[in-house]
Amino acid sequence: MDNIRPGDAGEKVRKVALISVVDDDAPMRSSTQRLLRTSGFTCEIFSSAEEFLQSGRAEQTACLLLDVKMPGMGGLELQRHLTEIGLLIPIIFVSARASEEEERRAKEAGAIGFFRKPVNTEALLLAIWAALKDFPNDESRHS
């Protein structure tokens, strides 16, 4: 999988760009964290949208991997909240139970990817690289 990255800038981007994973499924969080770390990314995991928001890491997050259905604030609600506060983080949804309507709403609201569990890891890594293509130009992250 190490070949899934852009040229010379790839190594720096992987180490500097924070990928945040928000999912209430503990095994999914752990396996995603392992995948990202073994692929050289900096990654933090959160069990809920509320935990992510309270962490103070939203401002540093370069890409957000987000579940749709979680107790409390769901992924679509978090996406809407981030937009409302003017924080435009590239979001990739990963879900086992999302409806086609939820997928449509996520994409219409700006999600750059939407994957069904179990996730094809190569496709997920490619989506993350696509999300990071403009990193570290974070001027466009605030509306």
Q: pLDDT category, 137, cuts 50, 70, 90?
A: low
Give the pLDDT band (50/70/90) at residue 8. very low
Residue 142 lies in a domain: no
Q: Is the pTM higher than 0.85?
A: yes
Give residue-wise pLDDT tens across range 79-133: 999 999 999 999 999 999 899 999 999 999 999 999 999 999 999 999 999 999 8
* pLDDT score at 134: 75
- pLDDT per position as a tens digit, 62-74: 999 999 999 999 9
- Beta-carbon contacts of residue 132 (< 8 Å; ≥ 6 apart): 13, 17, 62, 63, 90
pLDDT at 76: 98
Residue-range definition of the domain harbouring residue 45: 10-135
Residue among 143, 117, 12 at smallest CA distance from 65:
117
Q: Rounded to a whole number, what is the largest CA-CA distance in the chain? A: 41
Count helices and strands (H / E) in the chain. 6, 5
Domain presence at residue 77: yes
**Residue 3 in domain:** no
Specify if 90 maps to a domain: yes
- Asked if residue 103 is part of any domain, the answer here is yes
Across 47-60, average pLDDT: 97
Report the number of distinct structural domains present in the chain.
1
φ/ψ of 21, rounded to 5, equals -115, 120
In a domain, 1, yes or no: no
Tell whether 95 is covered by a domain: yes
The CATH number for 121's domain is 3.40.50.2300
Give the up-direction half-sphere exposure of residue 25: CA atoms within 13 A in the CB hemisphere: 15
Classify residue 119 by its DSSP letter. Answer: P
Domain for residue 143, yes or no? no
